Amino acid sequence: MSTPLPPEERTRWFTEARFGLFIHWGLYANGARHEWLMNHEEIPIEEYERKYFKHFNPDLYNPEAWAQAAAEAGMRYFVITTKHHEGFCLWDTQQTDYKAPNTEAGRDLLRPMVEAFRARGLHVGFYYSVIDWHHPQNFIDNRVGPYRNLSAEEIAEKNKGRDQKIYAKYIRDQVTELLTGYGPIDILWFDYSYPPEDPADFSKGKGRLAWESEKLVETVRSLAPDILLNDRIDLPGSGDIVTPEQYTPAKGMEVDGKPVVWEACQTFSGSWGYHRDEMRWRSSAEIIHTLIDCVSKNGNLLLNVGPNGRGEMDARALKSLKEIGAWMRVNSDSIYGCGAAPEGFEPPSGCAYTYNKAKNRLYLHILSWPHRTVYAKNIADKIEYAQFLHDHSEITFGLEGWQKAEAVKNMATFIIPWEKPAGIEVPVIEIFLK
């Protein structure tokens, strides 16, 4: 087993990429009301198979279109749910018949997707759910899944004869298939653990003992030493990426007081899987603000799309990706390869800084458009030149006479147009530092 590169080298492509696409796609797309519908509605396995396995027919599936939409949105990597909690597998696994080739799809759906995204230069990430509500050896518990509300006796009865070690081996065997059958994989995104008080009582929750997480990490590292692992198999210290979910941290994330590589995973709506009737849908402006916010705190944004049962991203998702892409097309220099501004660079009110250390370039994002001036403290003596990033038009600045007073020493006053530049959701001033 070759030794993995040091973490800062292994994660460099990731922290430079900053923006990725999460894709949640499985049988739940046909239920079209959240990927947890099997849990929420306590749908027994037989019924779930009869409805959704039997009728899964993604006849319009075209991963080239997905990859094109992601690339044009400015995304630099993607993470696909190879298997979600329902247990259904998108690839032609030899470990179970509960897989895409055995549906109307009639083929491995993962391979063409990986090829399409890789062909556009995106890094490849596999989400794999250790939770599995279908596998006959995985213990049923009273926390999650369609049988969670059964009585303790009924759960015990259903767990009779189950051997959790067989399921833990199943996880390793499937992960081995994924890491050896689809070319170099850049991220392995496990989900998720909920250890019980008694770690060995798998009928009340599952963590490292249930998944045999140590053996699982050994398997992963032996097959893909430099792959990036996330933090959800209940094995502190084994992951490379901390994964705050459905929120943006207040500041750069730390573990034990030390900064860590982190990635916020978020949805457009509340659901990860396709949800036809959901009325919530975040605006592209707010998503762009969120992306800037994450990068300004040394983090990534993994933004989710849930394709529908025919294999298409729906109109809402495509429209949003297009709008985000329009901003990224002319402003991505303030995102790729950027992170938090150096100590002491306090952004003006209504603005956010990102900073490209390699270029020594500061990016001032004007989130809320003020009248005529943006006052940037403590940097006037550090600026060599400034321009709008989107059109490279010069932005003048200077120390106003009255700024000589102590209170505003070294403040730069950027003079900006009366109106926000048309079509630019968040105008960015690119500041060339001395």
Q: Which helix (H) or strand (E) holds 312?
A: none
Taking the complex as a whole, how short is the minimal distance between the CB of residue 101 and ligand GLC, in angstroms?
A: 23
Q: Which residue has the tokens 């800037």?
A: 292
Which lies closer to ligand GLC via its Cβ, residue 309 or residue 348? 309
User: Helix H segments across 127-270?
Assistant: 152-159, 164-180, 208-211, 213-223
Which lies closer to ligand GLC via its Cβ, residue 273 or residue 348? 273
**Given phi > 0 = left and psi -120 to 50 = alpha, else beta, which region is 347?**
beta
Which lies closer to ligand GLC via its Cβ, residue 30 or residue 413? 30
> What is the contact mask toward ligand GLC in residues 166 to 205, using x (rule: CB under 6 A)?
-------------------------xx-------------
Is residue 115 at the binding interface for ligand GLC, with CB under 6 A as the rule?
A: no
The tokens describing 203, both together, are 């009928």
> What is the contact mask toward ligand GLC in residues 232 to 251, using x (rule: CB under 6 A)?
-------------x------
> What is the contact mask toward ligand GLC in residues 81 to 100, using x (rule: CB under 6 A)?
--------------------
For ligand GLC, the binding residues in 6-35 under the rule CB under 6 A are: 24, 35
CA distance 139 to 117: 36
**Nearest Cα to 348, choosing from 336, 363, 338, 360?**
363
Side-chain-side CA neighbours of 376 within 13 Å: the count stands at 30
**Are 261 and 252 contacting, i.e. CB atoms less than 8 angstroms apart?**
no
Which lies closer to ligand GLC via its Cβ, residue 75 or residue 341? 75
Residue 229 one-letter amino acid: L
Phi first, then psi: give them for residue 428, nearest 5 degrees: -125, 130
**Nearest Cα to 87, choosing from 75, 74, 102?**
102
Taking the complex as a whole, how short is the minimal distance between the CB of residue 133 and ligand GLC, in angstroms?
A: 12
Taking the complex as a whole, how short is the minimal distance between the CB of residue 304 and ligand GLC, in angstroms?
A: 7
Candidate residues 71, 265, 324, 338; the one interacting with ligand GLC per rule CB under 6 A? 265
Side-chain-side CA neighbours of 110 within 13 Å: the count stands at 28
Size of the site for ligand GLC (CB under 6 A): 8
Taking the complex as a whole, how short is the minimal distance between the CB of residue 36 and ligand GLC, in angstroms?
A: 6
Taking the complex as a whole, how short is the minimal distance between the CB of residue 137 and ligand GLC, in angstroms?
A: 21
Q: How far is CA 398 from CA 370, 381, 409, 411, in A?
A: 17, 10, 12, 8
Which lies closer to ligand GLC via its Cβ, residue 70 or residue 264? 264
Q: Is 273 exposed, middle or buried (0-12, 13-18, 19+ CB in 10 A)?
A: buried
Which lies closer to ligand GLC via its Cβ, residue 98 or residue 192? 192
Taking the complex as a whole, how short is the minimal distance between the CB of residue 273 and ligand GLC, in angstroms?
A: 7
What does the binding site for ligand GLC look like in residue numbers (CB under 6 A)?
24, 35-36, 191-192, 245, 265, 272
